[in-house]
Amino acid sequence: MTSAAPPLLALRVKPRAKRAGLVGWHGEALKVAVRAAPERGRANEELIEILAAALDLPSSALEIATGATAQDKRVRVAGLDAAELRRRIDAALARK
C-alpha cells in the first residue's frame, strides 16, 4: 500500500502587514499576510504559526518546501489530502 505524497500549498506571502492572517486566493496561490519582517526567518515562523492555526494542525505538520527567502512559497502539508486541505482553507477564509 502506497500513501500519497503530502500536498504542496502554493502561497504568496505579504510581510510587514498591518494585520496577519489568511487574505484570500491570489490566482492559484493562497495569499497570507504576516506582521513580521522577512529577516532571520521571522516571517516564515509566523507564516507557519498562522497556517497551523487556520488548518487546525500542529506546526510540525507544515514545512516550507520551496521559496524560503521569497514571497512565493510552497508549503508541504502532512496529514491532509488535497481535498481536505482546500476544505479547511475555504472554511478558514469564511471565518475571517
pLDDT of the residue at 62: 98
Average pLDDT of the residues in 4-31: 95
In order of their start, the domains of the chain are 8-95 (3.30.1200.10)
DSSP state, residue 35: S
The C-alpha cell that represents 54 in the structure block: 487556520
At 96, is the pLDDT very low, low, confident or very high (cuts 50, 70, 90)? confident
Tell me the pLDDT tens digit for each residue of 44-95.
999 999 999 999 999 999 999 999 999 999 999 999 999 999 999 999 999 8
Which residues are registered as beta bridge partners of 76?
Answer: 8, 63
Pairing of strands 8-14, 72-77: antiparallel
Res 2 pLDDT > 70: no
